[in-house]
A and B are shown apart, each in its own frame.
Chain A
Amino acid sequence: QQQVKQSPQSLIVQKGGISIINCAYENTAFDYFPWYQQFPGKGPALLIAIRPDVSEKKEGRFTISFNKSAKQFSLHIMDSQPGDSATYFCAASWGNTPLVFGKGTRLSVIA
């Protein structure tokens, strides 16, 4: 049973454009929603995270939008750059439980 559904599977964006990745969850106990960036052969690195008490969080070019009623959250990458090309995973957890990951989105930013 997949607890976090992520879309799209892959995404191609022009340099300077906006990349948008969406995730949906079902477990209302989740209270921590991070996004991870992973380059080939490397472990995932935390990009940005949000808790359900806020609807949006921005850090530099990265923004998380959170819709608690819809049980959805999304990652927006503004002014996408070729260096942003990577696989992005959304995740969720609550309490001391391990992170549950989405299936990942392979982002390619082309010049």
Chain B
Amino acid sequence: GAVVSQHPSRVICKSGTSVKIECRSLDFQATTMFWYRQFPKQSLMLMATSNEGSKATYEQGVEKDKFLINHASLTLSTLTVTSAHPEDSSFYICSARDRDSISHYGYTFGSGTRLTVV
């Protein structure tokens, strides 16, 4: 089945630094990738939607300049948390949609990245 590889699984960074999270579709081409944020014991909250080769669409309240999303190829999307602060500490999860999926069963999730800003 479709696999989405997300790295790193855990990262600890100092306040003020930037962190990049990668999301790769391993055996399919992802026309669309979604980035979610999840706080402890809460649901997934959509941060942004990115389509290959175009600018990401951010959800209301998500700072575009803080959460930079790049979807330069059909198999790779990156989320960069710039000038991270402790309040950015969270679990970030990507999801990729299979371009060739003939059904909605094309949503595949990565394993998530636990970001801790100290």
Contact = CB atoms under 8 A, between A and B. Distances in A.
A106 B40 CA distance: 12
Interface in B103-118: 104-105, 107-112, 114
- For the complex, would chain B's binding face be called helix, strand, loop or mixed by DSSP majority? strand
Contacts of B6: 43
Interface residues of B, number: 22
A12 to B, nearest CB: 16
Interface stretch (B12-20, B41-49, B69-77, B82-90): B41-49
A45 B112 contact: no
Given A41-B114, A96-B32, A101 B105 contact: no
Interface of B: 6, 32, 34, 41-44, 46, 49, 91, 93, 95, 97, 104-105, 107-112, 114
